[in-house]
Structure 1
Amino acid sequence: MATQDTSNKPIFYALGANGGIAAAKFAAALYTGSGAMLAEAIHSLADCTNQLFLLRGLKEAKKPPDESHPMGYGRVVYFWAMMVALLLFFLGGAFSVMQGIEHLRDPEPLSNVHVALGVLGVSVALESFSLYGAMKEIRKTSGDKPFFRWFRETRQSELLVVAGEDIAALCGLSLAFIAVLLTVVTGNPIWDACGTIAVGVLLMVVAIFITHEVKGMITGESAAPEVHAAIKAHILARPEVDHVIHLITVQWGSQLMVAVQARMHAQPSDHALVEAINTVEETIQQRWPTVKWCFFEPDFEPGAD
C-alpha cells in the first residue's frame, strides 16, 4: 500500500547536484561569454533556492497543531511549492528570455567553447543522477502508473516539483548544448542567443504546469483517485455499513482527512452504534496510516424508509 510519506533524499540529491552545476556554469559563462550558458547558470541557481524552499516547507509542515491551526501545518508545503514555481518562472524563465533578447540585439562571439560544452556534458550527468533519485521515489508510490498520469494525480508537491525541475533542467541543457554547438559550426552567435530564449521559454512552460498542479493542492484536492476509491470500497465492505451516502477525502500535506456519511446496519443500542462506527474508523486508519482525521456521520438517505 502506497502512502504520501516521502523521503527528503530527492531534494538533497537535487540540491547537491544543482549547487555544483551552478558554480561550474557561472565560471564557464564568464569564461566563454555564452548567453545560453549564463541562462543555464541562473536556472541552476534558482533550482538551488527552490530546493531550500522545499526543505523549509517540509520542516514547517511538521509543526504540531495549535489553536489557530487545529489540523496542523501540513498544507504549508503547497505554499512553498508555489513559491518554487514562481521563482522558476521569473528568475529562471523570464530572465533567460530577457538575456536572450539582449544577445540578439548585440550578439557577441564565444570563446573557449570546449569549456562550455564540457560543463554542459558534466551537468547532464549530474542532473541525470538527481532525476534518477526522484524517479526512484516516484516508483515507490506510483506503481505501474505512467509518469504523466502520476504527475497529474499526485498529491506529493515536493516530489512533483523536484521531478519537474530535473526534467526541465535536462531539456534545457540539451537546448543549450545544441545552441553552443550550432554557434561553433556556423560561427554565428545568434544561435547562442536563440538557445538562451529557448531555455527560458522551456522553464516558463514547466513552471506553468507545476503552478497548475500545485494550485489544485492549495485549493483542496481529494486523495489520489485510486486511494479515494479504495477507501470507499473498504467502507462498503465493512459488515457494520449498509451504504456509503457520501465520502470526502482531503489531502493535507502528507496526511489525509476523511469524512464519511453512511447508512449503518441496525444496532441494538446507541452504544453499539458508536462502537460500530469506531471500529470502521479504526480499520480505515490501520490500513491507511496517513489518515490523520476520520469523521463519521451515520445518516439516512433522503426518502429512505
Structure 2
Amino acid sequence: MKEESPKAIFYALAANFGIAVCKFAAAAYTGSGSMFAEAIHSTADCGNQLLLLFGLKRAQAPANALHPLGSGREIYFYALIVALLLFFVGGAFSVYEGAHRIVHHEPLSNPLVALVILGISVMLEAFSLTGVVRKIKKISGNKSMWLWFRETRESELLVVTGEDLAALLGLATAFVAVLATMLTGNPAFDAAGSIGVGILLMIIAYLVAREVKSMIVGESASPEVRKAIDAHLCGRSEITRIISLITVQWGKHVIVAVQAEMIEYASGREMIDAINIIEDDLQRAFPQVRWVLFEPDIARNKA
C-alpha cells in the first residue's frame, strides 16, 4: 500500500483538475455560490496533491550529517500544510463567499447546469473514494475507518482520504443547496450551502491536522506493528526478558529501541554476535524497521 500512495495522489490530482475546470465554468455560467465554493475547493485540492507529491519526493532524501536519520518525516510537514490550506483556502473562503451572497442577495441563474456538473462530480468523487477505501481495507483488515484514521501512520494517505471525503460530502451539500434554490427561487439556500461546505471542510481539515500534528510530535509504530515486534522479540531464545521496547515511526520507516535481559554468555563477544543476529532477523521480519538500538541490561527492581 505504501508504494500505491503516489499513484492514488496522481489519480486524485487528475480528477480534481478536470472537476475544477468544469466547476469554474458552471459557476461563471450560473452565478452559483455553492458551485464557486466547490470550484475553489477542487483547485485547492489540486495544489494540495502537488504539495504531497513534492513532500514524498523530499522525504526520500538520503541521510546526511545534519539529518542522520534521513528526511522521512518531512512528508508530515507537507501533510500539515495541506490540512491548513484545506481549512483556510477551502473552508474559510467558502464560508466568506456564502456570507457575502447572503448579504448581497445575489441570484442564481441556470441552476440545472450546476446540478448536472455537481451530479457528475459526485459520481467521480464517490468512485475515487471507493478506491481509496478499498485500499485502506486491504491494509487495515477489520478495522473501522475511524480506527484506521486514528491509528494510521501514512500521512499522505490520511490526507487524500480526508480530501476525498470532504469533497464528496461538500458536493452533496452543494447539490442539495442548488436544488433547493431551484425549487424555491430563494438564493439564500445556495448561499447557505456555500457556508455549509466551508464548515464541513474546516471540520475535516481540523481532524486531519490533529492526526498529522501527532505524527510530527512523534508517534510509535502502529499498535499492530508494535505488538508483532514485541512478540517476535519475546520469542527469541537469546532473550530472557524484555525490559523496555520503544518504537518510533519515521516516515515510512521505524526506529526500534530495545532494552532486554539476555541469557548467560561465556564472553561479551558472544553476546554481541547474538545481538547482531537478533537485529538482522528483526529487520528481515519487519522490512520497515530501518534502525535497531539494542541494549542488554538487567532489570532493576524499584524500591
The reply to whether TM is greater than 0.5 is: yes
**1:238 alignment partner, SS class:** coil
**Partner of residue 179 from structure 1, selected from 177, 180, 198:** 177
Match of 1:195 in 2: 193
Structure 2 unaligned blocks of 5 or more:
none
Q: 1:104 to 1:120 in 2, by over 3 A?
A: same
Question: Equivalents in 1 of 2:298, 2:207: separation in Å?
Answer: 42
Q: CA deviation at 1:136?
A: 3.0
- Aligned positions of 1:278-297 closer than 5 A: 278-297=276-295
Match of 2:97 in 1: 99
- Deviating more after overlay: 134-143 vs 119-128: 134-143
Are the equivalent residues in 1 in contact too, given 2:9–2:53 (CA < 8 A)?
yes
Q: CA deviation at 1:15?
A: 0.4
Match of 2:261 in 1: 263
**2:256 alignment partner, SS class:** strand
**2:261 alignment partner, SS class:** strand
Match of 2:162 in 1: 164
Over 4 Å off, 4+ runs: 3-6
**1:145 alignment partner, SS class:** coil
Q: TM-score, normalised by structure 2?
A: 0.97
Structure 1 unaligned blocks of 5 or more:
none
**1:7 alignment partner, SS class:** helix
What do residues 124-146 of structure 1 show as CA deviations (whole Å, max 9, x unaligned)?
12212221332233123212211
What do residues 205-238 of structure 1 show as CA deviations (whole Å, max 9, x unaligned)?
0000001000000000000011111101110110
**Partner of residue 74 from structure 1, selected from 64, 72, 80:** 72
- Deviating more after overlay: 274-283 vs 27-36: 274-283
Match of 1:152 in 2: 150
Match of 2:297 in 1: 299
Are the equivalent residues in 2 in contact too, given 1:10–1:137 (CA < 8 A)?
no
Match of 1:37 in 2: 35
Are the equivalent residues in 1 in contact too, given 2:5–2:156 (CA < 8 A)?
no
What do residues 242-266 of structure 1 show as CA deviations (whole Å, max 9, x unaligned)?
1111111000000000000011111
**Partner of residue 7 from structure 2, selected from 5, 9, 20:** 9
Match of 2:107 in 1: 109
Question: Equivalents in 1 of 2:107, 2:5: separation in Å?
Answer: 45
- Aligned positions of 1:207-286 closer than 5 A: 207-286=205-284
CA RMSD of aligned residues (A): 1.2
**2:5 alignment partner, SS class:** coil
Are the equivalent residues in 2 in contact too, given 1:13–1:133 (CA < 8 A)?
no
What residue identity is the alignment partner of 2:235? A
Q: CA deviation at 1:31?
A: 0.3
Question: Equivalents in 1 of 2:234, 2:44: separation in Å?
Answer: 48
**Partner of residue 133 from structure 2, selected from 109, 132, 135:** 135
Pair 1:60 & 2:35 matched: no
The aligned length equals: 302
- Deviating more after overlay: 200-209 vs 133-142: 133-142
Q: TM-score, normalised by structure 1?
A: 0.97
Q: CA deviation at 1:112?
A: 1.2
Question: Equivalents in 2 of 1:279, 1:140: separation in Å?
Answer: 32
Q: What percentage of aligned pairs have identical amino acids?
A: 57
Are the equivalent residues in 2 in contact too, given 1:15–1:51 (CA < 8 A)?
yes
Are the equivalent residues in 2 in contact too, given 1:183–1:189 (CA < 8 A)?
yes
